[in-house]
Structure 1
Amino acid sequence: MNKRDEEKQIIFESLKEALLILMEKKDFSRITVKELVSKAGVARSTFYRYFPNKIDLVRFLIHDALINFDKKYAPKTIEERFESPYMDEVRNYVQQYKNPIKSIYKSGLSYLYLEELNKHLISLKPYKLTMKEKIYLYGLAGAQYNIIYNGFIDAI
């Protein structure tokens, strides 16, 4: 990783940590960009270089989490995502990241998870999907979303 990428990673981690800390204390809609960048220790212009708004920061953080999850628990097929071993890994992930997941839920932003999961699953196929394949992947995304936000979230 080059120096520029390292700096970018530090900025994103700082923004992520600041956002999660602030979301534990107050509603997302009441968090200002000014407050966020101050907590993160980055310039306001730096925030806007990467994100047009706070919602896009949340989208990025969800997208990044999905990519990192798949790197760690990459199933070989889409079908494996419906099987118990994979769902056990999802449950472990939810347990590990329960505070950010709850914060997203409490802030009314859980729909962003579903949107990003849809995009993520579609991006895993290196070709143009048929409508049947898209419906299958959207069903998987919806199932995983419901498991996380209507199953696991209540248990944690």
Structure 2
Amino acid sequence: MKRYRLERIVMSNKFNGHRNAITKESIFTALMQLMEKKDFHKISITETTTKAGVSRMAFYRNYETLEDVITDYLNTFFNEYERQISSVGIENPHDIILMFLSDFKSEQQLLVNLVKCDLTFLLLDKCNSFLEQICEKSVCDKLYSPTKEAFTIKFLCGGFFNLLIEWASHDFKESEEYLADLFSEYC
């Protein structure tokens, strides 16, 4: 009898996890649609949840603010990208950059919305922490002093972030290969 209850709990947790993922996706999608038409600071949680078709309670189970919705999505995006790198085993900086740009190109509207709504700092924070990890593993020459390595990583992170912003301002016209080649010259 106890095993049956445990199986029901496990099944219930899987269902709840799936339902929660759908709720988060619905909220994010609604927020992106609203950001295309409206200033971010004028978008309310109620407006977002209504558009998403979820309750305010569902929102507050997952987030405190609308910025948290974007941060959560960026965390998921970067975690998936890190998983891709690990599974493929890419060690070449050019290939890492190319994969990242290709993945980010599929998120064009997110980047455009962040720029339009002056929320690029959310992306910069994530780029800094993530790219620092990548640079420490594969880009920086381990012969650098710790100070030189830290400055080099920050330089590369800022350059990459600004490359993304500039790419968005050019409506993503340049190819990922061109940008990866350009950025790789500095790695």
Same fold (TM over 0.5): yes
Instruction: Give the structure 2 partner of residue 93 of structure 1.
Output: 103
Distance verdict in 2 for CA 1:63–1:37, change over 3 Å: same
Q: Distance in 1 between matches of 2:43 and 2:156?
A: 33
Partner secondary structure for residue 112 of structure 2: helix
Partner secondary structure for residue 115 of structure 1: helix
Greater Cα shift, 22-31 or 89-98: 89-98
Partner secondary structure for residue 170 of structure 2: helix
Instruction: Give the C-alpha shift of residue 76 in structure 1.
Output: 4.7
Is the 1:63–1:120 Cα contact (8 Å) retained in structure 2? no
Instruction: Give the structure 2 partner of residue 113 of structure 1.
Output: 123
Instruction: Give the C-alpha shift of residue 20 in structure 1.
Output: 1.0
Q: Which runs of 5+ in 2 are unaligned?
A: 1-12, 137-145, 173-187
TM-score (normalised: structure 1): 0.79
Instruction: Give the C-alpha shift of residue 38 in structure 1.
Output: 0.5
Q: Distance in 1 between matches of 2:155 and 2:133?
A: 15
Distance verdict in 2 for CA 1:31–1:111, change over 3 Å: same
Seq. identity, %: 23
Is the 2:49–2:59 Cα contact (8 Å) retained in structure 1? yes
Distance verdict in 2 for CA 1:92–1:32, change over 3 Å: same
Is the 1:18–1:36 Cα contact (8 Å) retained in structure 2? yes
Instruction: Give the C-alpha shift of residue 120 in structure 1.
Output: 3.4
Is the 1:98–1:153 Cα contact (8 Å) retained in structure 2? no
Greater Cα shift, 12-21 or 139-148: 139-148
Q: Distance in 1 between matches of 2:19 and 2:126?
A: 25
Is the 1:91–1:152 Cα contact (8 Å) retained in structure 2? no
TM-score (normalised: structure 2): 0.68
Instruction: Give the structure 1 partner of residue 163 of structure 2.
Output: 147
Is the 1:59–1:112 Cα contact (8 Å) retained in structure 2? yes
Q: Distance in 2 between matches of 1:53 and 1:145?
A: 24
Greater Cα shift, 113-122 or 20-29: 113-122
Structure with bigger gyration radius: 2
Instruction: Give the structure 2 partner of residue 22 of structure 1.
Output: 34
Instruction: Give the structure 2 partner of residue 4 of structure 1.
Output: 16
